[in-house]
Amino acid sequence: MNTTQNLCKTLLQNPSSVKSKSQAKQLHAQILRTSLSSPSLLSTILSIYSNLNLLHDSLLIFNSLPSPPTILAWKSIIRCYTSHGLFLHSLSFFIQMLASGKYPDHNVFPSVLKSCTLMKDLRFGESVHGCIIRLGMGFDLYTCNALMNMYSKFWSLEEGGVQRFCDSKMLGGIPEPREIGKCSNSHDLPCELDERIAGIDQNGDLNQMSNILYQVNTYKKVFDEGKTSDVYSKKEKESYYLGSLRKVFEMMPKRDIVSWNTVIAGNAQNGMHEDALMMVREMGNADLRPDSFTLSSVLPIFAEYVNLLKGKEIHGYAIRNGYDADVFIGSSLIDMYAKCTRVDDSCRVFYMLPQHDGISWNSIIAGCVQNGMFDEGLKFFQQMLVAKIKPNHVSFSSIMPACAHLTTLHLGKQLHGCIIRSRFDSNVFIASALVDMYAKCGNIRTARWIFDKMELYDMVSWTAMIMGYALHGHAYDAISLFKRMEVEGVKPNYVAFMAVLTACSHAGLVDEAWKYFNSMTQDYRIIPGLEHYAAVADLLGRVGRLEEAYEFISDMHIEPTGSVWSTLLAACRVHKNIELAEKVSKKLFTVDPENIGAYVLLSNIYSAAGRWKDARKLRIAMRDKGMKKKPACSWIEIKNKVHAFVAGDKSHPYYDRINEALKVLLEQMEREGYVPDTTEVLHDVEEEQKRYLLCSHSERLAITFGIISTPAGTTIRVTKNLRVCVDCHTATKFISKIVGREIVVRDNSRFHHFKDGKCSCGDFW
DNA sequence: ATAGGGTTAG
């Protein structure tokens, strides 16, 4: 024997020592050359190819085997199919292997179970479990770990068989298996499978057999009762599959760290938080210390419970054990700190990571956006692109709310373009975020267009659209969508009721609002929150039922905040009820003494009533307390550029032209019958001056700029950060009539559509 | 054979 042959022999005796494709090829060639190509040697080469994940080469050998494939050949090809994502092929070869009379061993089950899991075919997986038990493999460590993984994923397997038939594109370039067999309906297979392996029980030990039968009966319960698993509720399925998961775990004679991590993750992800945490403690009794997998399963629990203390404890443990550079733990930590509103700490963790993958980028982006740090979120998104990490569907649904809140339509549109090109536009999360973004940026029609194109609605997508209508004052559209949602069996939640109540309040629909408020508490058992109370109180105030609103707020089962009282105070201003306004202010100043808006509001109410002394007293009190009202500001986006108008600021390059246009506009408005409502302006100002002061309100400057800078017929969108005042509302109606185009004013995320001298929300503004 | 991120909110 020469040295080459010796080398070949050593390599063949230890196949896992072959580390490269070229080495494997050389070995293959040597064997063919020396005509030593016995089926067993070829199988060894096949297993080497399979180890190196070379599906094409593995199949070439497999299909040319002179005699029936050996166990090793079957195992190798099955594993290779699984790791290539060709799960159907993997399972079909598994069936063919059984059909050819070979008994599967403990090496093959992990691959087969992984295929079942990733194909979302739990029923097939359960049958394989039956097979495992009958073959006495129910005690193998790796097999049990794979089984537990399958059961822990039951929630993501719900749809069942969605990916059953693999993407045919994946088959390109790969030789077809010689015979796929009868695998067109994988649900028929288990029976055949059971028959084939029935014989094995005869040789089993009696004790073990009764044990096995007990297990088989337990696992097959669902099917023996003649029910499909769809009959069971989600809750029942949850306990059923979690039960299977735990049973496997309990039956295991030996458990390693992977077993513990799998059972912990399974419980943690299915809401059994306490059990998961208990198991982490129990793990210590088995002399196993939590590793990076354990920690990243446990951290999301503390993120959900907003338990900063426990989260920090885990962070400390991670640092002490050198896990703090792990991207998985890093992402969990970023998320945990962000959910505890500690975004600074999230950033610190992010910058400490030696490298960032898509998920850690997504975590930091979502962390910023969810905490209202929209500019920072956008900055990270940009940096992610620079780092050449391709944003995925999660990235887009995380960043979209930033555009919605900043009202940056041009950015939102750009992202929408990216989303369409990446084919993410049918994702429910993204579509809902897009609906919200377009609605918040004033394009309610585009929002509806996207909504109508969705194939699937969940509660959030309904709510986003309903809230969109509510904000735009389209109360009836909002209500009809809410009804449709209920008819289609989607249960509204806390936020959905906020949306429909906001819609009612916007349009002055008192009866409807009461109906929904009662339905929420009685039919859906949702405890009303501040937002629901605020919407109803706001509505009662708008329609002028001020005393009722006062009683309603006073009877709330939670302490009303300043914002609830200030909506009533605003209503008192509109309906000119000074007596109640003073009562409300008293309440307001007790809970929220720093509320500048309340002082201004009350002072305006005094002015309007001619009580100049009281108004002045308030202004002086404000000055003494060092409170200074921020000047009103409105902005308008024209050709991707944002123009801001701050009250009293004359620095806009077109200021003079705008003033000219305003003068002309005011004259036309007055000819149409507009009378400036100057009652709230300080009394010591000349009448002509008062007219001018009202005219130069920031939103009117912005609207005028829109009129002179956009082509006729364009909708003008103005974003404002202060409550629209009575005069502004009236004036905008006149302006819309004169210029004959739609004017949309956003005021505290509430939209007012002005057209032909009317406002979409009537007079219930 | 095991782990991390997402949409609606006066």
Nucleotide nearest to A144 (CA to C1'): B1
Q: Which of residues 498-537 of A touch strand B (CB under 7 A)?
A: 498-499, 502, 531, 534-535
Q: Give distance CA A530 / C1' B6 (Å).
A: 26
> Which nucleotides in chain B lie less than 7 Å from some protein C-beta?
1-10
pLDDT above 70: percentage of residues in chain A: 86
Residue A43 has a pLDDT of 86
Q: How sure is the predictor about A98, in pLDDT bands with cuts at 50, 70 and 90?
A: confident
Range in A5-19, A33-47, A317-331 the model is least confident about: A5-19
In this structure, the number of other CB atoms found within 10 A of the CB of residue A71 comes to 15
Residue recorded with tokens 């505890």: A340
Strand B–CB A443 distance below 7 A = no
User: Is A215 a residue whose pLDDT tops 70?
Assistant: no
Nucleotide nearest to A292 (CA to C1'): B3
In this structure, the number of other CB atoms found within 10 A of the CB of residue A52 comes to 16
Q: Give distance CA A432 / C1' B8 (Å).
A: 8
Strand B–CB A145 distance below 7 A = yes
Nucleotide nearest to A300 (CA to C1'): B4
A542-629: CATH topology is 1.25.40
Backbone angles phi, psi at A755, to 5 degrees: -155, 140
A255-390: CATH topology is 1.25.40
Q: Is A121 helix (H, G, I), strand (E, B) or coil?
A: coil
Q: Give distance CA A142 / C1' B6 (Å).
A: 33
E strand spans, A53-207: none
Q: Give distance CA A340 / C1' B3 (Å).
A: 21
- CB-CB contact of A434 with A400 (8 Å): yes
- CB-CB contact of A346 with A374 (8 Å): no
Q: Interhelix angle for A21-33 vs A39-51, to 10°?
A: 170
Report the alpha-carbon distance of residue A364 to residue A346 in Å, rounded.
7
User: Is A612 a residue whose pLDDT tops 50?
Assistant: yes
Strand B–CB A267 distance below 7 A = no
Q: Give distance CA A533 / C1' B10 (Å).
A: 10
CA dihedral (A723, A729, A731, A735) in degrees, to 10, reads 110
Residue A763 has a pLDDT of 62
Higher pLDDT, A420 or A607: A420
How many angstroms from the chain centroid is the CA of residue A711? 39
Residue A695 has a pLDDT of 75
Q: Give distance CA A329 / C1' B5 (Å).
A: 12
Q: Give distance CA A401 / C1' B4 (Å).
A: 22
Residue A2 has a pLDDT of 64
Q: Which of residues 297-326 of A touch strand B (CB under 7 A)?
A: 297, 299-300, 303, 326
Domain parsing of chain A, residue ranges? 68-251, 255-390, 542-629, 633-759
Strand B–CB A189 distance below 7 A = no
Nucleotide nearest to A259 (CA to C1'): B2
Residue A206 has a pLDDT of 30
Residue A764 has a pLDDT of 56
**Average pLDDT value for residue range A335-345:** 97
Residue type, A150: M
Report the alpha-carbon distance of residue A31 to residue A48 in Å, rounded.
13
Question: What is the residue-averaged pLDDT of chain A?
Answer: 84
Convert the pLDDT of each residue in A524-538 to its tens digit. 999 999 999 999 999
Strand B–CB A330 distance below 7 A = yes
Q: Do A255-390 and A542-629 agree at the fold level?
A: yes
A261's tokens: 């991590």
Report the alpha-carbon distance of residue A464 to residue A427 in Å, rounded.
15
Pairing of strands A743-747, A750-755: antiparallel
Convert the pLDDT of each residue in A234-255 to its tens digit. 677 777 888 889 999 999 999 9
Q: Give distance CA A436 / C1' B1 (Å).
A: 42
Residue A696 has a pLDDT of 75
Strand B–CB A602 distance below 7 A = no
Convert the pLDDT of each residue in A551-603 to its tens digit. 999 999 999 999 999 999 989 988 889 999 999 999 999 998 888 888 888 88
**Average pLDDT value for residue range A606-629:** 85
Nucleotide nearest to A428 (CA to C1'): B7
- CB-CB contact of A260 with A279 (8 Å): yes
* Per-position b or e across A639-658, b if 16+ CB within 10 A of its CB: eeeebebbbeeeebeeeeeb
Q: Give distance CA A181 / C1' B2 (Å).
A: 33
Q: Give distance CA A230 / C1' B8 (Å).
A: 29
